[in-house]
Amino acid sequence: MKRTGILVLVFTVVFVLAAGGLVSANSTKLTLWTFVHQHARFYQVMTEKWNALNPDRQIELEASVLPYEDMHNKLQIALQSGVGAPDIVDIEISKYPNFMKGVPQFVVLNDVFAPYVDDIVPSRLEIYARNGNMYGAPTHVGATVAYYYVEILEEAGVDYREIKTWDDFVEAGRKLKAVYPDKFMGIVETSAAWTVTAMLAQQGSDLVSDDDQPLIDTPEMLRAVTTLQEMVKEGLLTTCPDGQPDREGGKGLIDQGVVACVIMPQWFMSRYLDEIPNMNGKVAIAPVPVFEEGMPRSLGLGGTGTAITLTAADPDLASEWLAFAKLSEEGNRMIWEDLGFDPCNTALWTNTEMTHNPDNAYNQYFINNVFDVLNEIKDEIVMVRSSSISPAINDYVTTVMLNELFEDILDPAEVLEDAQYNIESQIF
Amino acid sequence: MRKRFAFLYDQKVAPYVFVLPFILTFLIFFLYPVLSTIQMSFQEILPGMISNVGFKNYQRLLGDRIFRTAITNSVLYTFWTLALLIPFPLVLACMLNSRSMMGRGFFKASLFLPVVTSVVVAGTIFRLMFGEVEGSLMNSLRALLGLSPIKWLKVRQTGFAAMVLMACWRWTGVNMLYYLSGLKGIPPEMYESADIDGANVWQKFWLISVPLVKPTIIYVLTISIYGGLAMFTESYMLWAGNSSPKNIGLTIVGYLYRQGWEQNRMGYASAVGLVLLAVAMLINLGQLRLTGVLGKELD
C-alpha cells in the first residue's frame, strides 16, 4: 500500500516535470514587476497576442503585482546590487528620475522603438529617455481634463461648457454655493500637485527649470496658488481626506456627490468606472479652465515607464515584446479599451470605430465622449518636465507647501519663499 | 572521528566553539553593516558610479532644515513616550500585583493584547479613528460634546498626540509585564513587615516597590529611549506612508528612509543613520551613567 503511494507520487512528479519541460521547451519565461493589477492583466493579454503572432518565439510571462513603494524600493536594491531584478519592470513617473541617476541599469530601446516612434507623442518618449537613449515605454498621454458633475451645476444655473477661464469657474462656484451651501466647486490638493502643475503649464512654467533648478518662488506659481487659496477662503474649493482625488478619501468625497468639478488627468476616468459608482451617467468631460483664453488648456500628468533591466535573461526578446505591447497600434488600442487611458499613438484618437464604440464601458459611464475633448485640445497638451531633482521638489510641495497654503491658509508669498529655500537646501 | 573533534574536549578551545555562532552573527549582521555604513556615509552611491565625497554628506546635514525637523520630532516623541510609558505601566503593574485586585487575568490579557496586534492593523485603525470626516470615532466624540469636527492628522498638535497615544496603547502592556516580573521578585515579607509598622499604600509603593524594581525601570528606560529615537513604523502606518502633512510625523529613521530609498541617496542616508546612532549612544550612555549602571560595572 505504502509502496503504491510512493510510486504514484513519483509518477506524478515526473509527469509534472515533463509537462513543465514541454511548455518551456520553445517558450521563454520573462518576469515582470508592476504595482497596478490592471497593468498585469493588460500585459497578459498582450502576451497572448504576441504568442499568436510569433509561434517560434513564445513567451511565458510571469507578472507580479507588488505594492507601490515596496516595488520601487525592491527594484532599487536589486539594481544597486546587481541581483534579483525582474526582466521587465513598470516604474511610476515620479520615481523614474531616481533610476536615471548614475549609469541607468536599463537596456537602451532606440532600435526596437524605431518602427513605432513616428506614431507616438514624442514628449512622452522623451520623459523616459536620457541623453538621446530611450529606456522606457510610456503608457499614456495623461492629458489633464475637467470632470463636471452636470446635474448639480444645471440646478445652479451653470452650463459647464461655458466655463472657459478661472474667473468663469469662480462665478460658477458662487452660483453653486447659492443653491447648495454644503457642496463645493472643486477639490484643492494637498498631497499631490495636479491642479497647481496644470496652472503653471498654462502660464508656460513648471516646477523645475530646463537647467534643473526648482521653480517655486516664481510669479507664475504665486498667481496659481493665490487664485486657488482665494477660492478656498471663499469656500468654493475644499481640501479632502488623504489630500487628493486619487486616494481613498478623495474618491469617497467625489462619490458622495459633494464636488462639482474634479481636475485630473484623463486616466482618472478609470477610477470613476472602478471606484466611484454613484457618479455613473452624471459626469461630463471638458477642457480645464485657463487664466486667459488662448493659454494651453492641458498637460500630460502621471504615467508609468516600462523598462528592460540589464540583467534580463533575454533582453532582445523582452525589448521586442515591450515595443509590441505598448507602442504598436494593437497595444495602443488595448491601452484605451482595456485600461481606459489616452494612448500615446494619437492617430488612434480620430479612429471613430475605436473611440466611439458604444459598447465601451468608459463611453457608457460618461455623458460625452472623452476623445471629442481630447481632439479639441490635442495641440495644446503641454508636457511636464521631469528631472533628477523632481522627487525632492515633489516631496516638499506635497507634504509641506500645499498644506501650509490650503490647510493653514498662510501668506502665499512667504510660503513660496520658504519653500524655495528649503527645497534648495535639499538639492545637491 | 573522535580524534578530529578532540578540540571540543579542550577546556580552552571549547568555549570559543560554543560562542562562535554568536560571534559570526555579530560580525556578519552587525559589525560589517556598521563599518560599511561608515564607509558609505563618505560616498555618493549610484548604480555603476560610486565616488568619495569626504565630509560633504555631513556638511549638508548641518544645513538641512528638514533633518532638524526630524530630529526634533524624534526627540519630542521619545520624551513623551518616556513621560507616559515609564510611570503609568508601573502603577498598573503594582495594581495588578496587588492581591486585592479583581479580575487580574482579564486586565493583564487585555493590556497585553495590543502588543501582539500587528502594527499595520493598529495603524490603519488609528488612522480611521482619527479621520477628518465627520463620522470618524474621534470626531463623533467631539460631536457629542457639541464641538465641530477637526482634521486630527493634519494639525501638528493633534497628529503628534495621536502618534504618542498609539505608542502608549501599544507598549503599555510590554512595560507592564517587565515591571510585573520585577515586582514578583520582591519578597512578600517586606510588605508584611511594612504592614506591621503601619505603612500605607503610598509608602509601600514609594519606599519598597519603586527602589526594588529600579533595575527593571532602568532597563525599560534604556530600551524606551532607543525605541523612541528609532521609531518609524508607527508614523508610517498612521499616515499611510512616509509623507505626513507638514512632516508632523517625520522621524530620523523616516528621513533616512526618505533619503535612502525614496530619493536614492544611500550615502546621505548613511550619514543620517550614523547621526542617529551617535545621538542614541550619547543619551543612553549618559542615562546609564546617571543611574549608576555603568559606574558600577567600571568599578
Reported as a single tens digit per residue, the pLDDT across B158-177 is 999 999 999 999 999 999 99
pLDDT tens-place string over residues A48-58:
999 999 999 99
Which stretches of chain A drop beneath a pLDDT of 50? 1, 16-23
Q: Which of A101, A191, A407 sits opposite B264 (nearest CB)?
A: A101
Cell 491642479 found at: A195
Residues of chain B with C-beta less than 8 angstroms from the C-beta of A404: 246
Chain Cα centroid distance, residue B34: 20
For chain A, give every domain's residue range.
23-141+303-350, 144-300+376-426
C-alpha cell at B16: 570559543
Q: Which helix (H) or strand (E) holds A262?
A: strand A259-265
- Find chain B residues with C-beta within 8 A of A400's C-beta: 245-247
Within an 8 Å CB–CB cutoff, is residue B156 touching chain A? no
Spatial distance between the Cα atoms of B135 and B128, rounded to a whole number of angstroms: 10
Give the count of alpha carbons within 13 A of A254, CB side only: 33
What is the pLDDT at residue A11?
A: 57
Q: Give CA separation, B38 vs A79, A231, B268, in Å.
A: 22, 50, 11
CB-CB: which of B45, B132, B247 is closest to A399?
A: B247
Instruction: Give the separation between CA A144 and CA A298, rounded to whole angstroms.
Output: 5
Q: Which residue of chain A has the CA closest to B60? A: A425
Q: In whole angstroms, what is the distance from residue A217 CA to residue A415 CA?
A: 9
Provide the terminal-to-terminal Cα distance of chain A, rounded to the nearest Å.
Answer: 72
Q: How far is A16 from chain B (nearest CA, A)?
A: 39
Helix locations, A150-267, DSSP H: 150-155, 166-179, 194-202, 219-233, 248-255
CA distance B49 to chain A (A): 6
Q: Do B263 and A242 touch (CB under 8 A)?
A: no
Q: Establish if B59 touches chain A: CB-CB under 8 angstroms.
A: no
Nearest CA in chain B to A98: B264
Say whether A120 sits in a helix, a strand or coil: strand
Whether chain B has a CB inside 8 Å of the CB on A395: the answer is: yes
How many Å apart are CA A306 and CA A323, to the nearest integer? 10
* Chain A neighbors of B133, CB-CB under 8 A: 241, 249
Who's near A284: CB < 8 A, 6+ residues apart?
A: A147, A148, A150, A160, A366, A367, A368
- Options 3.40.190.10, 3.30.43.10, 3.90.1150.10, 3.40.50.720; CATH for A23-141+303-350 is 3.40.190.10
Task: With CB atoms and an 8 Å threshold, state whether B45 touches A403.
Answer: no
In three-state form (DSSP H/G/I as H, E/B as E, the rest C), the secondary structure along B15-43 is HHHHHHHHHHHHHHHHHHHHHHHHHHCCE
| Residue A242 sits at the chain B interface (C-beta within 8 Å) | yes
Q: Does B127 touch chain A (CB under 8 A)?
A: no
Are A278 and A259 within 8 A, CB to CB? Answer: no
Query: In chain B, which residues have their Cβ closer than 8 Å to the Cβ of A79?
Result: 47
Residue B8 main-chain phi, psi, to 5 deg: -65, -20
In angstroms, how far apart are the furthest CA atoms of chain B?
Answer: 84
Residue of A322, A327, A273, A274 whose CA lies nearest to A140 = A327
- A6 Rama sector, left if φ>0, alpha if ψ -120 to 50, beta otherwise: alpha
Q: Do B47 and A395 touch (CB under 8 A)?
A: no
The CATH classification of domain B54-298, taken from the options 1.10.3720.10, 3.30.1180.10, 3.30.1340.30, 3.40.50.300: 1.10.3720.10
d(CA B42, CA A209): 30
The Cα B73–Cα B82 span in angstroms is 14
Q: A12 in helix, strand or coil?
A: helix
DSSP B29: I
In angstroms, the separation between the Cα of residue B263 and the nearest Cα of chain A is 6
What chain A residue is nearest to B57 in terms of C-alpha separation? A428
**Contact partners, residue A173, CB within 8 Å, separation at least 6:** A184, A185, A186, A231, A234, A236, A237, A260
Is B204 near chain A, with CB under 8 Å? Answer: no
**Test the B interface: residue of A240, A400, A404, A420 with most B CBs within 10 Å:** A400
* The pLDDT value given to residue B245: 92
ipTM of the complex: 0.82
Asked if the domains A23-141+303-350 and A144-300+376-426 are classified in one and the same CATH topology, the answer is yes
Q: Which three cell numbers stand for residue A27?
A: 517558450
Question: A-contacting residues of B 39-58, CB under 8 Å?
Answer: 45-49, 56
As a whole number of angstroms, the distance between CA B112 and CA B177 comes to 8
Among B264, B266, B270, B272, most A C-beta atoms within 10 A, so best to mutate, is B264
What spatial distance separates the first Cα and last Cα of chain B, rounded to whole Å? Answer: 47
CB atoms A242 and B154 under 8 Å? no
User: Within an 8 Å CB–CB cutoff, is residue A410 touching chain B?
Assistant: no
- Domain range summary for chain B, segments of one domain joined by +: 1-40, 54-298
Query: What does DSSP say about strands A304-308 and A237-238: parallel, antiparallel, or unpaired?
Result: unpaired
Please report the pLDDT score of residue A68 as a whole number.
87
- B259 within 8 A of B269, measured Cβ to Cβ: yes
CB contact under 8 A, B264 and A98: yes
Pick the CATH number of A144-300+376-426 from 3.30.499.10, 3.40.50.620, 1.10.10.10, 3.40.190.10: 3.40.190.10
What is the rounded distance in angstroms from the CA atom of residue B167 to the CA atom of residue B174?
11
Instruction: Give residue for cell 526578446.
Output: A317
Give the separation between CA A244 and CA A390, rounded to whole angstroms. Answer: 19
Residue located via cell numbers 501638528: B156
How long a stretch of residues is chain A? Answer: 428
CA distances for B137 relative to A342, A365, B19, B234, B252, angstroms: 41, 34, 53, 19, 30
A376 touches chain B (CB under 8 A): no
**Residue of chain B minimizing CA distance to A101:** B46
- The DSSP-derived string for A126-151 is HTTEETTEE--B-----BEEEEEEHH
Alpha carbon distances (Å) from A160 to A259, A379, B115: 14, 22, 54
* C-beta atoms surrounding B157 within 10 Å: 9
DSSP A345: B
- Pairing state between β A88-92 and A27-34: parallel
Inspect the interface and report whether the beta carbons of A425 and B64 lie closer than 8 Å.
Answer: yes
Q: Could you read off the pLDDT tens digit of each residue along chain B, which spans 299 residues?
A: 567 777 778 888 888 888 999 999 999 999 999 999 999 999 998 887 889 999 999 999 988 889 999 999 999 999 999 999 999 999 999 999 888 888 888 998 999 999 898 888 999 899 999 998 888 999 999 999 999 999 999 999 999 999 999 999 999 999 999 999 999 999 989 989 999 999 898 898 899 999 999 999 999 999 999 999 999 999 999 998 888 999 999 999 999 999 998 888 999 999 999 999 999 999 989 888 888 777 655 44
Q: Which of residues 264-283 of B touch A (CB under 8 A)?
A: 264, 266
- For residue B299, the model assigns a pLDDT of 45
Residue B65 sits at the chain A interface (C-beta within 8 Å) = yes
- How many other C-beta atoms are found inside a 10 Å radius of the C-beta of residue B129? 17
